[in-house]
Amino acid sequence: MTQQTSPMGYTPQTTHTIVIPPSAAIPTFNGNISENPRQFLIRVKKYAETINHWNDQALLNGISHFLRETALEWYCQLRTSNRRPQTRTEFIGIFLNQFNSPMRRARQEQQWKNCKQEENETINEFIVRLRTLWQEQKPNENEDDLIRHLMCKMRNNLLTMIGVSRCESLDEIIIEAQKIEEILYQRNKQLYRNSNQDRTENNTSTTSIYNNDNQYEIQAM
Q: Is the pLDDT of residue 10 over 80?
A: no
Q: Is the pLDDT of residue 24 over 90?
A: no
DSSP alpha helix (H) spans, 115-169: 123-137, 143-153, 156-161
Tell me if 54 sits within 8 A of 62, measured CB to CB: yes
173-206 residue pLDDT tens: 999 999 999 998 898 888 878 777 767 666 665 5
Across the strands, what pairs with 29?
67
Q: Is the pLDDT of residue 210 over 50?
A: yes
pLDDT band at 19 (very low <50, low <70, confident <90, very high): very low
> How much is the pLDDT for 219?
56
Q: Is the pLDDT of residue 11 over 70?
A: no
Q: How many CB atoms lie within 10 A of CB 26?
A: 13
Q: Is the pLDDT of residue 87 over 90?
A: yes
Tell me if 100 sits within 8 A of 41, measured CB to CB: no
Per-residue burial over 60-76, b = 16 or more CB atoms within 10 Å of its CB, e = otherwise = beebeebbeeebbeebe
